[in-house]
């Protein structure tokens, strides 16, 4: 890692576009209280980047030379969290402002795992030390609210003007310290519509296998950030571009490159359509769940698993649930899907079979499916399957009509019953009259 920065570029009042009115007043209050207590404190990271890009920040993070315990002594609404990075969370109801102490390189050799990832990093330092510990230049800007000035130690302002994402320090070393930085690079590239700087991009090829060392629970958190922030479809494309999607969902990646070209395209369509729908719902401020996305990402894997098991046994129901279990177990080796979400995915997939079975004309089953708490998710999933290339027009039309008028179920049941009777009568052999019966009639 490079040495601590010492000569910042300073943009004073009037030389930058940030207006104090754009900053959350709760963040300004924290900055003021830390200053009054005798500490340095700055707004830092993505909030400054977003303000310079003309975007409204979602979060306002603060960096200070106050230690976590000192921060907690100043703010009664403070909670300390984390082991690897000790952080202070200051609560305002449900809203949280994160306050981090300036970090420095360890004085002794850092404790790492077998892949070289840092396991513990509570080493405190100065603002100059803190700058080079941050991941990307665009996230290493500091705003001094007291003097209304921006401090740039790493060329962040130039990178923002050039619209590129550059990692601070040697890319291979930084990715090795924390492989999740590769996923963050992809996310920022998608979110900000900025390409990665050449060396920042090239190092991903050499380091992406290190993601195997990252705890599966942490990768699940990163998957949520990637796909549930309103630009999930773009994130998917960027992950594919840099070979990172495979590190998260190796089995799903295999379906995208399946030998049968039509199925490979179908698998990719499933994922991109579901991601696009989620992005649209987030933009419209509608409720979303990661379970639906995971169901779409893993559905092609499940279909192959289910078909394979069905060849070995007659009971489709047991094959279905065994296939679901196998897919969940394999996926959770990389991304730890919580039990609650696994249950939701199971229901969405199992309901696909019930949607088809009930459509055969059983009115009781139709109303039972309509009343299921996951029916709407299952119906939306059916639409994704149709959009991805499955021939489901009749099934979609039926369940669309049933939602508009549940009484339609009675007409469907009667129609199916009549069709069944016609088929049975057409298939039944005609009974031949015996000659003896005709003779008896004549005698009578």
Active site residue ranges: 59, 61, 135
**Helical H runs in 249-338?**
250-256, 261-283, 290-310, 316-331
State the Cα–Cα distance between residues 197 and 284, nearest whole angstrom.
Answer: 33
Residue linked to tokens 């894997």: 301
State the Cα–Cα distance between residues 422 and 142, nearest whole angstrom.
Answer: 78
State the Cα–Cα distance between residues 212 and 157, nearest whole angstrom.
Answer: 34
Of 440, 248, 212, nearest in space to 331 by CA: 248
Question: Would you say how long the chain is, in residues?
Answer: 444
Of 187, 182, 188, nearest in space to 202 by CA: 182
State the Cα–Cα distance between residues 364 and 367, nearest whole angstrom.
Answer: 5
State the Cα–Cα distance between residues 155 and 149, nearest whole angstrom.
Answer: 16
The 3-state secondary structure of 121-176, one letter per residue: CCCECCHHHHHHHCCEHHHCEEEECCCCEEEECCCHHHHHHHCCECECCCHHHHHH
C-beta atoms surrounding 189 within 10 Å: 23
The upper half-sphere exposure of residue 205, i.e. CA atoms within 13 Å in the direction of its Cβ, equals 5
The tokens for 266 are: 């179908």
Of 352, 426, 345, 431, nearest in space to 388 by CA: 352
């Amino acid at each position: 890692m490079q040495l601590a920065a010492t000569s910042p570029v300073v943009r004073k009042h009037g030389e930058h576009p940030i207006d104090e009115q754009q900053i959350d007043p709760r963040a300004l209050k924290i900055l003021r209280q830390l200053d009054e207590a005798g500490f340095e404190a700055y707004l830092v990271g993505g909030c400054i980047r977003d303000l310079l890009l003309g975007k409204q920040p979602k979060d306002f993070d603060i960096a200070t030379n106050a230690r976590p315990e000192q921060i907690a002594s100043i703010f009664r609404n403070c909670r300390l969290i984390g082991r690897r990075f000790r952080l202070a969370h200051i609560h305002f109801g449900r809203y949280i402002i994160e306050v981090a102490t300036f970090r420095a390189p360890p004085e002794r050799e850092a404790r790492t795992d077998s892949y070289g990832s840092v396991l513990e990093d509570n080493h405190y330092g100065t603002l100059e030390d803190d700058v080079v510990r941050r991941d990307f230049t665009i996230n290493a800007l500091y705003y001094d609210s007291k003097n209304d000035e921006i401090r740039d130690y790493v060329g962040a302002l130039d990178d923002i003007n050039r619209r590129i994402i550059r990692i601070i320090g040697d890319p291979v070393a930084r990715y090795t310290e924390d492989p999740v930085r590769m996923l963050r690079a992809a996310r920022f590239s998608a979110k900000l519509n900025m390409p990665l700087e050449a060396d920042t991009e090239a190092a991903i090829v050499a380091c992406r296998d290190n993601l195997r060392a990252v705890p599966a629970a942490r990768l699940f958190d990163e998957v949520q950030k990637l796909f549930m922030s309103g630009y999930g479809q773009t994130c998917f494309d960027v992950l594919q571009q840099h070979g990172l999607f495979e590190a998260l969902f190796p089995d799903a990646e295999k379906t995208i490159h399946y030998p049968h070209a039509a199925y490979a395209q179908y698998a990719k369509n499933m994922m991109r359509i579901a991601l696009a729908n989620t992005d649209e719902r987030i933009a419209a401020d509608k409720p979303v769940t990661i379970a639906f996305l995971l169901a779409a990402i893993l559905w092609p894997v499940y279909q192959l698993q289910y078909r394979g098991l069905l060849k070995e046994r007659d009971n489709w129901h047991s094959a279905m649930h065994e296939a679901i279990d196998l897919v969940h177990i394999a996926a959770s080796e990389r991304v730890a899907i919580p039990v609650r979400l696994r249950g939701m995915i199971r229901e969405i997939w199992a309901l696909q079979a019930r949607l088809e079975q009930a459509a055969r004309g059983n009115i009781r089953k139709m109303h039972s499916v309509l009343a299921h708490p996951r029916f709407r998710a299952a119906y939306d999933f059916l639409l994704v399957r149709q959009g991805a290339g499955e021939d489901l027009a009749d099934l979609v039309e039926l369940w669309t009509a049933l939602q508009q008028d549940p009484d339609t179920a009675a007409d469907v049941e009667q129609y199916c019953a009549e069709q069944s009777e016609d088929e049975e009568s057409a298939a039944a052999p005609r009974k031949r009259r015996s000659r003896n019966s005709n003779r008896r009639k004549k005698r009578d």
